[in-house]
């Protein structure tokens, strides 16, 4: 795929547990948290198709193609696909993000 395609957008308001509850869960179970640690919530899925948080949900278990534009679709990731995840929070007068988290799907190694 030659051009990026946004396939979903979600919102932390769709989470079942608040970040405070997740932080508490980590700390009471022996996780050694320190200032500056980055906590990840996991997949955030909304109730509308454009806000589903995983390829499995977006493609309805591989039965519905996801339109990427330029005549390309996916039901699952293919070798060579690159996934870029970005996130931010914002309020009146501020916006805080963590940049990009990117990965590329490489072909499986052939056994020697």
Question: Which distant-in-sequence residues (6+ apart) come within 8 Å of 97 by Cβ?
Answer: 86, 87, 88, 89
pLDDT value at position 98? 84
Annotated binding site for substrate: 43
Tens of each residue's pLDDT in the chain, 112 residues = 678 899 999 888 889 999 899 999 988 988 888 998 888 888 899 888 889 989 999 999 999 999 999 999 999 999 999 999 988 889 999 999 988 999 999 999 999 8
pLDDT value at position 109? 92
Annotated binding site: 43
pLDDT value at position 57? 93
pLDDT value at position 41? 86
pLDDT value at position 39? 84
pLDDT value at position 59? 94
Q: Indicate the domain borders of the chain.
A: 12-76
pTM of the full predicted structure? 0.72
pLDDT value at position 1? 61
């Amino acid at each position: 795929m030659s051009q990026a395609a946004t396939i979903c957008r979600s919102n932390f308001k769709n989470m079942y547990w608040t970040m405070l509850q997740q932080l508490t869960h980590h700390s009471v179970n022996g996780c050694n948290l320190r200032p500056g640690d980055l906590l990840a919530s996991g997949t955030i899925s909304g109730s509308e198709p454009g806000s589903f948080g995983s390829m499995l949900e977006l493609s309805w278990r591989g039965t519905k193609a996801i339109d990427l534009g330029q005549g390309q679709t996916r039901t699952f990731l293919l070798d060579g696909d690159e996934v870029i995840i970005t996130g931010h929070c914002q309020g009146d007068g501020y916006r805080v993000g963590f940049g990009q988290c990117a990965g590329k799907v490489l072909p499986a190694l052939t056994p020697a």
